[in-house]
Structure formats: structure tokens, C-alpha cells
Amino acid sequence: MNFSMLFIAPKLFRIQHTSTIMSRQYSILCLNGGGFRGGIQIGALLEFAKTVGTSNFASVFTDGMYGVSIGAILVAGLAFGCTIDEIADFARTHFSFHSILDHPNLGSLVHFRETLGFDNGEKIHACLKQIFQSKGLDLDTLTIGDASVPLNIVATDLSRTKLVLFGPHVGLWDAIRASFSLPFVFTPHTIRGRVFVDGSVLCKQTLKLVKPEHRTKAIGFFLVDNRPLTEVTPSEFVSAVMRCHATTDVLRIKSKYPQNVVLLHESTVGMLDPEPDVEYMLTKGAELYRLFLSESRL
């Protein structure tokens, strides 16, 4: 008996197992929303980049990218040539309340009945404009159709009470701005006379927007917060109701496509956390993606 095989075989199995996961051809990327918790998605995507050997995802997800809310911001950057490493660097310097959001003040409170939101998105626009300028691009003139891969940004159309995937001729900033317009936090966004708010109002996970025959080519990185309700306060109660809907939807699609959904379970970082710990989120995301790999079957 060759006793050396007792030690070699387990290592060989691990290599083959990882190789099988790496060779699975994902050509569609799906991201959901979650505010600052999107840092966890970035961490998972950084780890994913190691398995595919590139941080330029425009060369990987050639059949398209789908994003809603923070996910829309991320896929927009990726579809226009930003690497996931560059996006992670952006998160390290800009993922804080004061960097991209206006604090409510007396003026915003007085005019809330007219504006229906405390923030008009100008800080986020300035940040994204700077990123796109570094790529030699003008955020204000780009359209969705200018992306290097099919780009699908999701928003909720209040004028017609339905979910919308913006077409190629819609301005990129308009689509992003509509998609992250969280009700009562950001002012609604109007495009061609129609009023839009955050796509997450109607879309908790974007894999369902991919045609069924193409879903096995997709990989979704979906944030989930399924912590139980422990404190019955108005804010916690409302948050728990919203979590329940989102979690149920994500777990349902995970059960149908276990090899195509990465569950990003995390319950300590808030969607609008004033000072989110970015390094923690990046580390946590990487950890959760490695867990997905270890649980994936051959």
C-alpha cells in the first residue's frame, strides 16, 4: 500500500474541487441592494476575482450585469471598466454617511413635504463623476448602451407602479440615480415625466430578472439580514418587516439555484450606518464567498 496517497489524496481532492468551482462559467453578474452593506458585496467580489484570475469583470460577465440600488452603482462602475480593486479603494475612502449623504437639517425638514427626501444625490454624483473621469469618461453624457457589456439597472416606476429595466438610450446617471432613490432618504428622481424610486422597493434580488434559460450562467451576490426581532421599537419593527420580505425572496431563489447564489449573511452593519467599518465588510464578504465555495457541490 502506498501510504503517501493517504496524505496526497485529500489535497488532490481539494484542488480538484476548487478547480471545478473555478471552471464553472459564470457570465452574468447579479447584485441586490443594501446601502453601505454593499461593502460586503465588494469583499465577496474581491475574493471571486481571485478564482477567475482577473479583477476586470467586464471581461468575465460578458452576457450582462444586473444591479439595483447600491448594486446598480457597483455594476455601472464594473461595466464601464473599473476593476473591483478600484471600487474597493473607493469604498475605503467614501463609504461613510458624511462622504456621500447630506445630514438632515432645518431646511430639508421644512421642505420635506415638497421634496419627499432629505438628499438629492449630489454628493454621490460628484463621487461617481470623479471615478468615471479617471477612466476618461463623462458620467453626465454616458448612456446605458455605452457600457462594454449589457448593463441592466433596475428602478421602481411609481408613475406606472411597476419595476423597470432601463433601456440603452437612458442616461447612465439618470438610471443610477433612480435606482438608489431610497424613499424618504433620497428625493424621487424624474425621467421624462415619470417618477422613480429605489428599485429595491419591488426587487429584492436580481436573478429573477435573468431569463430562466440563462440563470445557470449567472452568479448573484445577495445581501441577507435575517436577524430576529428582539426589540419592539417602531424603527426595528419596520426594519424587521422589510427584512422578512427580502430574506424570503433571496432564500427562495437560493433554493432553486444553489450554485448560482452567494448568500451574504450579515446583521451588524446597518444600511445607513453612519460610520460603517469598511475593512470588516470587505473581510466578511471574502469569508462568505469562501464559505459558498466550500459548500458548493461538485
Q: 231 lies in a domain?
A: yes
| CATH number, domain with residue 236 | 3.40.1090.10
Q: What percent of the chain has pLDDT above 70? A: 81
Q: 176 lies in a domain?
A: yes
Q: What would the 3-class secondary structure string for 208-228 be?
A: HHCCHHHHHHEEEEEEECCCC
Cα–Cα distance between 189 and 197 in angstroms, integer? 7
Specify the number of domains making up the chain: 1
Is residue 123 within a helix (H) or strand (E), and if so which, with residue range? helix 122-134
Q: 229 lies in a domain?
A: yes
Confidence band, pLDDT 50/70/90 cuts, at residue 15: very low
Q: 2 lies in a domain?
A: no
pLDDT of 295 strictly over 50: yes
Q: 122 lies in a domain?
A: yes
Q: 12 lies in a domain?
A: no
pLDDT in tens, 79-132: 999 999 999 999 999 887 777 766 655 555 545 566 566 788 899 999 999 999
Q: 10 lies in a domain?
A: no
Q: 160 lies in a domain?
A: yes
pLDDT of 297 strictly over 70: no
- Put residue 32 in one of left, alpha, beta given phi > 0 → left and psi -120 to 50 → alpha: beta
Cα–Cα distance between 180 and 172 in angstroms, integer? 13
Residue numbers of the domain that contains 104: 26-295
* Residue 108: C-alpha distances to residues 114, 116, 142, 196, 264 (Å): 10, 9, 30, 20, 34
pLDDT in tens, 179-224: 999 988 899 999 999 999 999 999 999 999 999 999 999 999 999 9
